Amino acid sequence: MRKAGAILGQILAELERRVRPGITTLELDKLAEQMMHDNGVKPAFKGYKGFPASLCTCLNDQVVHAIPDDTILQEGDLLTIDSGVILDGFYSDSAITVPVGRIKPRAQKMIDTATKALNEAISVARPGIRTNVLSRTIEEIVRAEGFGIVLELSGHGIGKSLHEDPYILNYEEEHPGPTLQPGMTLAIEPIITLGSPKIKTLRDGWTIVTKDGSLAVQVEHTIAITEKGAEILTKRPK
Ligand code: MG
Ligand code: MG
């Protein structure tokens, strides 16, 4: 999983460099697939419950699971790229939200807030704490900035499959959740909105958008719980 994560981090870093006005999300998907092939990993999303691509490419009000197509990126767009790879049967899952050219300050604030929530949750993760501590950490940071939290979508365990127990919610629940232990591997993914966090699925059966059309941001890392804390497996090279 460490190797799978490092490769995925490299791929996302390269995609981030390629994002600019004029490129299509399908071109980014083709590029990702080529890089996966070159690195000896398989796409985790392609074929997953019938999903047709190696990336989820969500623009602006698209929250998750948008399918790459011939949409041309425009100056001011907000693009979330979510991807996963499989190496020797082990999965990795990570997402970034990238500004296309210049974006509005409030949109940048969303990226910064989701990233801060993700990093803080990772920094508090260690053996002996309950998963709800991660959830509370994310919720407090996002709420403090006034953004919405999509309740229906959450982080998850990951390993020999893409989605495993436990859920890592982005808001605090009454139930404290299971206790973290060394060797557990988790995908943590704050998913936040500028307006209402209510969502709906489009007719393609995949794309989830905000009901009010407001912007959405998702950032995600796969991490491993170690004896001392947590290690980010999907770190991107600078
Ligand atoms: Mg993901
Ligand atoms: Mg995930």
pLDDT in tens, 7-16: 999 999 999 9
In which band, very low, low, confident or very high, does the pLDDT at 92 lie, cut at 50, 70 and 90? very high
What distance in angstroms lies between residue 100's CA and the mean position of ligand 2's atoms?
A: 23
> Residue 53 belongs to what domain range?
2-232
Expressed in angstroms and rounded, the spacing between residue 83 Cα and the centre of ligand 2 is 8
User: How high is the mean pLDDT of the chain?
Assistant: 98
pLDDT of residue 178: 98
pTM above 0.75, yes or no: yes
Largest separation between any pair of C-alpha atoms in the chain: 48
Task: Specify the long-range contacts of residues 43-49, CB closer than 8 Å, at least 24 apart.
Answer: 43/83, 43/84, 43/85, 43/86, 44/83, 44/84, 44/85, 44/86, 44/91, 44/92, 44/93, 44/162, 45/82, 45/83, 45/84, 45/162, 48/162
Kindly write down the DSSP assignment for every residue of 151-181, as one continuous string: TT--EEE-SSSSSEEEEE-SS--SS--PBP-
Average pLDDT (156-167) is: 97
pLDDT, tens digit, for every residue of 27-81? 999 999 999 999 999 999 999 999 999 999 999 999 999 999 999 999 999 999 9
Residues, Cβ < 5 Å to ion ligand 1: 82, 93, 95, 220
CA–CA distance, 38 with 115 (Å, rounded to integer): 29
Residue 28 Cα, ligand 2 centroid: separation in angstroms? 19
Task: Note whether residue 86 is domain-resident.
Answer: yes
DSSP string across 187-234: EE--EEESS---EEE-TTSS-EEETT---EEE-BEEEEE-SSSEEESS
Confidence of residue 102 (pLDDT cuts 50, 70, 90): very high
| Dist CA 44 CA 55 (whole Å) | 9
Arithmetic mean of pLDDT, 101-126: 98
In a domain, 238, yes or no: no
CA 5 to ligand 2 centroid distance, Å: 13
Q: What is the mean pLDDT of residues 144-166?
A: 98
- C-alpha of residue 2 to centroid of ligand 2, in Å: 16
Gap from CA of 107 to ligand 1 centroid (Å): 20
Give residue 219 CA to ligand 2 midpoint distance, Å: 9
Ligand sitting nearest the alpha carbon of 56: 1
For the cut 90, the answer to whether the pLDDT of residue 238 exceeds it is no
CATH at 208? 3.90.230.10
The pLDDT value recorded for residue 116 is: 98
Could you tell me if residue 89 is inside a domain?
A: yes
Q: What pLDDT score does 121 carry?
A: 98
Residue 216 belongs to some domain of the structure = yes
- Chain segment 16-39, per-residue pLDDT in tens: 999 999 999 999 999 999 999 999
- Tell me, yes or no, whether 114 lies in a domain: yes
- Residue 196's nearest CA partner among 136, 138, 150 is 150
> Can you tell me the mean pLDDT for 175-181?
97
User: What distance in angstroms lies between residue 227's CA and the mean position of ligand 2's atoms?
Assistant: 23
Question: Domain for residue 151, yes or no?
Answer: yes
Q: How far is CA 74 from the centre of its chain?
A: 22
Looking at the structure of the chain, the number of domains it has is: 1
Q: How far is the CA of 128 from the centre of ligand 2 (A)?
A: 23
> Would 170 be classed as within a structural domain?
yes
In a domain, 237, yes or no: no
Mean predicted confidence (pLDDT) in 172-196 = 97
Closest ligand to residue 83's CA: 1
Distance CA 123, CA 191 (A): 18
* Ligand nearest the Cα atom of residue 153: 2
In the chain, the percentage of residues whose pLDDT exceeds 90 is: 100
At residue 44, the pLDDT reads 98
